[in-house]
Amino acid sequence: MSAAPDRPSGDAHEPDPRFAAPDGLRAAVVRHEGEPDRCTVYPADADDVALVTTWLSVNADCLVPLEEVR
């Protein structure tokens, strides 16, 4: 798994502009046919080894913009 933000379009790890992560974190959405899309948040500076254990994934439809819940 790589955290490179400049991946080609359609890559599972391409950052999705709909999901903004707090400073120091990145968010990527993996799209699935027939299943909920999954959003994974991980440290922006994590190397490939750290990414194996330093991430959190949720169904993308469970996320809401921070401004909506303030």
The domain spans of the chain are: 1-65
Q: Specify the pTM.
A: 0.60
CA 24/CA 53 separation, integer angstroms: 16
Mean pLDDT of 41-59: 91
Helix or strand run (H / E) with residue 59: strand 56-59
pLDDT tens per residue across span 4-24: 343 334 445 555 555 666 678
pLDDT tens per residue across span 20-33: 666 788 888 899 99
Enumerate the β-bridge partners of residue 30. 38
Q: How far apart are the first and last CA of the chain?
A: 34
CB 26 within 8 A of CB 3: yes
State the Cα torsion 23-28-16-5 to the nearest 10°.
70
